[in-house]
């Protein structure tokens, strides 16, 4: 049975390790190893993650199976995209990652349902995200979860520029 718990600042080291591992599993076969390393080094810094949790700039949820962390989400509210209505309360799902050995076992769906519940409970109107246009697995997953494409944006992994879709679901 998968349990989902909100992360505390002292989970920062775990989030770094989980973040690096799942990012490598997601893109290791399709992206340049140097770009992946460069991204991981700047994206998963324990002191930064602890700081954003303590300061409530981000909310992380961790999925556990038999007390082992197997996936996580990161939610934030400090960014907007031009195709989002600024008059609405917009919640960004910046990350949703599941360990590869647990893909296609409804862990992502459980994490997503939890993010949607958190958004509703906190009176957000919309949950939105950016996804690499070549990440067909994730796009299929988001569509199944009710998201629709509302625009595009750029995203950088190391030196590589990627085209993302911006997707949203009404809460
Ligand atoms: C995308 C991701 C979070 C989905 O999580 P998951 O636990 O594998 O997905 P689930 O088992 O909960 O799937 C729920 C539904 O999504 C869809 N889906 C999931 N994986 C899919 C795939 N590979 N192809 C097509 N549809 C898929 C299916 O409709 C599925 O429902 P079903 O099982 O009834 O068919 C996971 O694959 C992952 O961590 N990928 C790597 C990281 C990543 O790309 N994150 C997104 C970055 S923007």
Q: Total structural domains in the chain?
A: 1
Q: For residue 16, what pLDDT is reported? A: 98
Cβ of 149 below 6 Å from ligand 1: no
Q: State the average pLDDT for the chain.
A: 97
Look up the CATH number of the domain holding residue 117: 3.40.630.30
- Domain span including residue 60: 2-170
**pTM for the model:** 0.97
What is the crossing angle of helices 12-27 and 33-43, to 10°? 160
33-42 pLDDT per residue, tens: 999 999 999 9
Cβ of 104 below 6 Å from ligand 1: yes
Q: Which helix (H) or strand (E) holds 155?
A: strand 148-157
Residue 1 has pLDDT above 90, yes or no: no
Region 9-17: mean pLDDT is 98
Name 65's Cβ contacts closer than 8 Å, sequence gap at least 6.
1, 2, 3, 102, 107
- Atom 43, ligand 1: residue with shortest CA distance: 97
Kindly state the percentage of the chain with pLDDT values over 70.
100
Of ligand 1's listed atoms, the one at least distance from the Cα of 110 is 12
104-136 pLDDT per residue, tens: 999 999 999 999 999 999 999 999 999 999 999
């Amino acid at each position: 049975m998968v349990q989902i718990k909100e992360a505390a600042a002292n989970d920062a080291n775990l989030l770094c390790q989980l973040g690096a591992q799942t990012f490598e599993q997601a893109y290791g076969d399709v992206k340049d190893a140097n770009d992946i390393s460069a991204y991981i080094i700047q994206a998963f810094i324990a002191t930064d993650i602890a700081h954003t949790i303590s300061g409530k700039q981000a909310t992380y949820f961790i999925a556990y199976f038999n007390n082992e962390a197997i996936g996580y989400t990161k939610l934030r509210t400090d960014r907007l995209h031009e195709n989002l209505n600024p008059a609405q309360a917009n919640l960004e799902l910046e990350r949703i990652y599941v360990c590869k050995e647990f893909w296609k076992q409804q862990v992502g769906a459980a994490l997503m349902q939890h993010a949607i519940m958190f958004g509703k409970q906190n009176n957000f109107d919309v949950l939105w995200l950016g996804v690499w246009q070549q990440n067909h697995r994730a796009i299929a997953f988001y569509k199944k979860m009710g998201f629709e494409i509302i625009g595009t944006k750029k995203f950088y992994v190391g030196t590589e520029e990627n085209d993302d879709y911006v997707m949203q679901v009404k809460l």
